Amino acid sequence: MTELLIIKPSSLGDIVHALQVATTLKAQVEGLRISWIVGDIFAPIVRACEAVDHVYVFERKGGTKGFLKLMKEVRKTKFDYAFDMQGLLRTGLMMSRVHAKVKAGRSDAREWSGMFYNRKVALPPDGRRSHAIDILLQFCPVLDAKPELRGTLKFREVDELKLSFAEGRGGAKPFLMFPDSRRAEKCWGGFKQLTEMILRENKARKVIWAGNNRVPDRNAYPPEQFLNLTANTSLVSLPALIKRADWVITNDSGPMHLAAALGVRTLGIFGPTDPRLFGPYPLTGPTNFVVQAPVGDLKLLSAKDVYARFQKIRARFEKGR
């Protein structure tokens, strides 16, 4: 058995990318056991991933005492490989405490974390202008695996999940929207108007809002057509919720990357970030689409424009089925 430790504490989108790489490695390397160091906030989704065998939880507010306690636990295992997929001082210090024959990290690692590696992973041919997943896939050759996505990202189902609304009337799946994002400049303000347009077009249509932070709907939509799960969406339930959606419409965010990874039809709304680098992967995929705001300013992107674009995408998609 080959023991691999992945160090990737945050954030959600980056973790989803790394989980795809872990799934790829599991599909190509026989007898591979994967352990993972992850931040406490994101531990539930890593623990739920079928590609991960063991999880070490990094308590962000644990201080020095918490860090030393974590690393004491990690040091009980002698790993064959350790991958620092984050490349920051904090993760470099974690790497320095790990027992591993090969300690590999990104060649573009920051904050002096590179001094703790004995092997550096080169960037893809396009360097930093590569998609985040393509950068992480370069870890695969360290284990003699090909740097291309393999296998299917899977999560363990949760018994307590109640998704009767998401099942839809007559088998129809809802549109799932994530109107929030971790960074304010990536939050588009047109989700309320877009929801109204979508619900108006079809009385049997259902829309669900989801996400960490509360986004008020002011009871503006018929309750039989709309469900607001913002501030009430657990990470462990997120994959099951996304898989039940007809479409996922979202800002540039972690849920967007998860939807694309699960093969659900995804429309990403982009402002200042470049979808070629951070869009749903791959951008050429048959279920991945983006809308880019004029000059990268989301304030210049109207709900009417997004709705029109969405209608064209749906029509083209339905025609090609």
pLDDT per position as a tens digit, 149-196: 999 999 987 654 456 666 655 557 899 999 988 788 899 999 999 999
169-320, which class in CATH?
Answer: alpha beta
Confidence (pLDDT) at 318? 72
Higher pLDDT residue, 229 or 172?
229
* Cα distance between residue 175 and residue 197, in whole Å: 12
Q: Is 124 exposed, middle or buried (0-12, 13-18, 19+ CB in 10 A)?
A: middle
- Reference 269, options 234, 298, 311; nearest CA is 298
Quick one: pLDDT at residue 32? Answer: 98
Sign, CA dihedral 314-234-50-171, equals negative
Place of tokens 């998860």: 258
At 164 the pLDDT is 61
Predicted confidence at residue 118, as pLDDT, reads 97
Tell me if 2-143 shares its fold with 169-320.
yes
Q: How far is CA 258 from CA 108, 174, 235, 238, 301, in A?
A: 25, 17, 11, 9, 24
What per-residue confidence (pLDDT) applies to 320? 62
* Residue type (1 letter), 259: A
Mean pLDDT of the chain: 93
Q: Is the pLDDT of residue 279 over 70?
A: yes
Tokens of 289: 């689409």
Write the DSSP assignment of 235-285 as a string of letters: GGGHHHHHHT-SEEEEESSHHHHHHHHTT--EEEEESSS-HHHHSSSPTTS
Q: Where are the domains of the chain?
A: 2-143, 169-320
Buried-exposed string 251-271: b where 16+ CB fall within 10 A, e elsewhere:
bbbbbbbbbbbbebbbbbbbb
**CB of 85 closer than 8 Å to CB of 107:** no
pLDDT score recorded for residue 250: 97
- Give the least confident one: 151-160, 196-205, 253-262, 291-300: 151-160
The pLDDT tens digits for 192-223 are 999 999 999 998 899 999 998 999 998 899 99
Rounded mean pLDDT, 131-135 = 96
Percent share of the chain, pLDDT over 90? 86
pLDDT at 165: 61
Q: Which pLDDT tens digit goes with each residue over 23-76? A: 999 999 999 999 999 999 999 999 999 999 999 999 999 999 999 999 999 999
Find the mean pLDDT for residues 115-123.
Answer: 97
Q: So what's the pLDDT on residue 182?
A: 79
What is the pLDDT averaged over residues 76-98? Answer: 97
Q: Report in angstroms the alpha-carbon separations of 163 from 227, 229, 237, 238.
A: 11, 11, 10, 11
- The pLDDT score that the predictor gives to residue 156 is 87
> Residue 90 pLDDT more than 90?
yes
Over 70: is that where the pLDDT of 321 sits?
Answer: no
pTM surpassing 0.85? Answer: yes
Q: How far is CA 199 from the centre of its chain?
A: 27
For residues 114-127, give the mean pLDDT: 95
Q: Say which residue the tokens 């470099």 belong to.
A: 92
Strand partners, 266: 248, 288
Pick the CATH number of 2-143 from 3.40.50.300, 3.40.50.2000, 3.30.470.10, 3.40.50.720: 3.40.50.2000
Share of the chain above pLDDT 70, in %: 95
